[in-house]
Every structure is written in structure tokens, then in C-alpha cells.
Structure 1
Amino acid sequence: MRGALVRYRVMAYIVGVLLIILMCIGVPLDRFAHDDRLVSVAGVAHGWLYMILIITAVDLGRRVRWPWWRIIVIALAGTVPFVTFVAEHFATKDARLRIADFENEAGDDLPAGQPES
């Protein structure tokens, strides 16, 4: 579960930064300077990496047993500049709590005297 959380967080930051670059630098450059090079590169990169973000969000969500509405909201956050970081913060906070709960439940299931691995 921790690996899924790390993968999701990395993708959220990458997609969030690309979206900010695209919207705050690339689009104004395209509109005012008529230079679409950054929009072409950042737009394509954001689109492909956004698909990976969705996959990592679904993977994490299924592992920590989030309801589908939460996974959808987290996935949609990758389409609004700066909201990706807010969604990542709250998703990470909740996922860490759920992971700790799962680990505590797993630890309670060990026979007496059995060390945790």
C-alpha cells in the first residue's frame, strides 16, 4: 500500500507542475506571443501523464478502500491548476491513516510472541 501511495504522490506532483506550466506559461505564450511550442510539449506530456495519474489514483483508492466518488474527485483534480496539490494533500493524509489502521489490524492478528515483519 505504501508503494501505491508513493506512486500516486509522484504522479500528482508531476501532473500538477505540468498543468501549472501549461496554463500559466504555455497558454499565455501561445495567445500573446503566438508561440505554441510549450503548449504542444507540455500539453501532450500532461495528457499522457494524467492518464497514469488516474491509474495510480484508482490503484491507491482500491487498496485503501476509498469510495468511488473520492477516486473520481481526486482524478478530476488533475484538470484544475493548483487543485492537484490540495487533493494530493488530503488524499495522502487519509491514505496514511487507513494504511496505519490496516497495519494495526494485521498486527492484532499475529499470534502472541510472533514478531511483526
Structure 2
Amino acid sequence: MKLMDTSVKTFKIVSTLEAISFLILLGIAVPLKHFWQMPEMVSVVGMIHGILFIAYIIMAYIMKEKLNWSWGTLAIVMICSVLPFGPFYAERKYL
């Protein structure tokens, strides 16, 4: 039971960080690049977000196995990863 609790907590952390990095990318880094010709932040935040996105997808599959999610639930959780605020919804609804 301890392992499952740790896995769920870790997924919640990754989910939150992935969502925040996506919002920073869309809300701060991209406008800086396009309106103020400052592309550096997109490179940095984009890399961080990419790593967190991959971690989110891998951990979502691990959660499917541990929590006995259906393939439909896994699909919804994965779709949430590409929507602004989506990971927050998935975290509240399925964990």
C-alpha cells in the first residue's frame, strides 16, 4: 500500500508541475518570443515542459496499472495533458 501511495503522490506532483509549465509556456514564454523578440524563455521552459510531459504520460500509464483504470480513463487523462488546466482536472477527477 505504501508503494501505491508514493506513486500517486509522485504522479500528482508531476501532473501539477506539467500543468504549470504548460501554462508558463503558453502564457509567458510564447508572448515574450512573439511580441518582444525574446525566444530564450521558450527554449528553457519548452525543454522543462517536454520532460515533464513525457514523465506525465509514462506515469499515467503506471497509474493505469496500479489503480486499474480502464483504457478510456487513461485516454482521458492523456488528453488532459495537452489541454491548459487539463492535468488539474485529471488529478482531481481520477486520483
Code of the residue aligned with 1:68 in structure 2: it is W
Seq. identity, %: 27
Distance 1:68 1:4 in 2: 19
The 4+ residue runs of structure 1 with deviation greater than 6 A are none
Deviation at 1:82?
A: 1.1
Give ranges in structure 1 of 5+ residues lacking alignment: 93-117
> 1:56, 1:30 → 2: CA distance?
31
2:94 to 78, 91, 95: 91
The superposition leaves residues 48-74 of structure 1 with CA deviations (integer Å, 9 ceiling, x where unpaired) of: 111111111111111111011211221
The structural deviation recorded for 1:41 is: 0.6
Query: Unpaired runs of 5+ in structure 2?
Result: none
- The number of equivalent residue pairs is 92
Superposition TM-score, scaled by structure 2 size: 0.90
Larger radius of gyration: 1
Deviation at 1:84, TM superposition (A): 1.4
Aligned to 1:69: 72
Task: Report the 3-state secondary structure (helix = DSSP H, G, I; strand = E; otherwise coil) of the residue aligned with 1:26.
Answer: helix
